[in-house]
């Protein structure tokens, strides 16, 4: 039987008492699997990531990640879970503007455990930013800022990587470089990944693709990268 990193059962999310972002969703993601999530704007894609990453709670249903029932976690425990288990790559970079690239990565270390500048520099070198260590976000291109975000997301060696449109709003070359880095990380480290995208070419890099419409999974298919062990969604 497959070992699930993520398991959602009957998950519903309602905002303001009436907006149903997710509607009785069931979803599993295996350890080491790369899942792509596609769908139109407002279909619930980002809401799924927020709930899996303990940034939000479902209105109904259960969410288990890495063996933990996230619906039962207190606020401080949820914060600890995010620091230790999850790496986030957002479309909006959320970099601290007055910190350099290496300092932004070290900030993630600070909230996790101990700061190690050497490790932070190595993380940036892995995303081809060894020559931009001391640059402020305003001195970096959009693609470079996104690569700082990737280094920051991975510095604490998370078990799960959540990426929300990581190549969105980038020029073609920068977007391809960001995707190549993500693809390499998955192949080399076997990270469990859930990636939201509107681009089918990017989605096809994953092992499985689900489509969301109105908060429901309307389709699920394996890609050429999948193997026979990957499960279908229920």
105-137 pLDDT, tens per residue?
Answer: 999 888 776 788 999 999 999 899 999 999 999
Tens digits of residue pLDDT in 173-224: 677 788 888 888 888 878 899 999 988 888 999 999 999 999 999 999 999 8
pLDDT at residue 46, as a whole number: 93
Return the closest-CA partner of residue 63 out of 103, 13, 102, 14: 13
Tens digits of residue pLDDT in 57-69: 999 999 999 989 9
Tokens of 36: 């792509």
CATH superfamily of 33-47+74-222: P-loop containing nucleotide triphosphate hydrolases (3.40.50.300)
8-state DSSP, 138 = G
Tens digits of residue pLDDT in 71-80: 989 988 998 8
Mean pLDDT estimate for the chain:
88
Between CA 88 and CA 178 the distance in angstroms is: 14
Say if residue 129 is exposed, middle or buried (CB neighbours under 10 Å; 0-12, 13-18, 19+): buried
Where along the chain do its domains lie?
A: 33-47+74-222
pLDDT at residue 229, as a whole number: 45
For tokens 């270390």, the residue is 109
Q: Give the model's confidence band at 145: pLDDT under 50 very low, under 70 low, under 90 confident, else very high.
A: very high
pLDDT at residue 84, as a whole number: 86
For tokens 């990581």, the residue is 166
In this model, does residue 14 exceed pLDDT 70? yes
């Amino acid at each position: 039987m497959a070992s699930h990193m993520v398991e959602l059962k009957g998950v519903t999310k309602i905002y303001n008492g009436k907006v149903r972002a997710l509607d009785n969703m069931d979803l599993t993601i295996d350890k080491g699997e790369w899942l792509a999530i596609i769908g139109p704007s407002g279909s619930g894609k980002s809401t799924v990531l927020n709930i899996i990453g303990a940034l939000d709670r479902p209105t109904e249903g259960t969410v288990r990640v890495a063996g933990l029932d996230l619906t039962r976690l207190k606020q401080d425990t949820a914060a600890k879970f995010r620091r230790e288990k999850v790496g986030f790559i957002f479309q909006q970079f959320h970099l601290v503007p007055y910190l350099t690239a290496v300092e932004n990565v070290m900030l993630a270390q600070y909230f996790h455990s101990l700061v190690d500048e050497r490790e932070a520099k190595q993380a940036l070198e892995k995303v081809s930013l060894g020559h931009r260590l001391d640059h402020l976000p305003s001195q970096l291109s959009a693609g470079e800022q996104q690569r700082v975000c990737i280094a920051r997301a991975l510095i604490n060696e998370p078990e799960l990587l959540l990426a929300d449109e990581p190549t969105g709003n980038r020029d073609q070359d920068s977007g391809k470089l960001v995707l190549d880095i993500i693809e390499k990380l998955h192949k080399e480290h076997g990270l469990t990944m859930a990636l939201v995208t509107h681009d089918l070419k990017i989605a096809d890099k994953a092992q499985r693709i689900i489509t969301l419409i109105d908060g429901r999974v309307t389709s699920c298919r394996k890609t050429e990268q999948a193997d026979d062990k990957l499960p279908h969604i229920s």
